[in-house]
A = this chain, B = another copy of it.
Amino acid sequence: MEKIENIAKRYFAKEVTDRDRAIFEGAITLGAIFHQFSGIPIKKSIISLVKETIEKTMSIQPFIEKINVKINEETVRPHSHPYDYSILTGELLEIEVISKYGNSRIYLEMKYIKELDFPLMYIKKIEKL
């Protein structure tokens, strides 16, 4: 595995630090989750299944330590008839991604911010190990 990472490293600029790299890897995954899973049909009874799938598929990505997904249950439609279900969007979704590379662990989040009317992505915490 070290050998493989050395191949990858040849493509990165020399001055890239562990902190740079951990931010980079976490942010890729944040952007990926939003654009991969937007559009999925969802109803209340399968929220926990969808949550688990996003967490387990997307934490396969390089240098992701953990992902926590929260789907706002109140905003998901009850499926009382064939056209009554929700489509997963940035408004329904809260994501936390924790990435780690070398001596750095980064906590990144996405959350819908009412004031901006926008699902904002941001760096919540930077940890030096």
Contacts and interface: CB of A to CB of B under 8 A. Distances in A.
A89 interface: yes
A91 to B, nearest CB: 10
Nearest to A7: B115
A21 B19 CA distance: 12
Contact of A116 (B4, B19, B116, B120): B4
Interface in A12-63: 12-13, 15-16, 19-21, 23-32, 34-36, 38-43, 46, 49-50, 52-53, 56-58, 60-63
20 contacts: A4-B81, A5-B81, A8-B116, A8-B122, A11-B120, A12-B122, A13-B123, A13-B124, A13-B126, A16-B123, A24-B24, A24-B27, A24-B108, A41-B58, A41-B61, A42-B57, A62-B82, A62-B83, A83-B118, A87-B90
Interface of A: 1, 4-5, 7-8, 11-13, 15-16, 19-21, 23-32, 34-36, 38-43, 46, 49-50, 52-53, 56-58, 60-63, 79-85, 87, 89-90, 108-109, 111, 113, 115-116, 118, 120-126
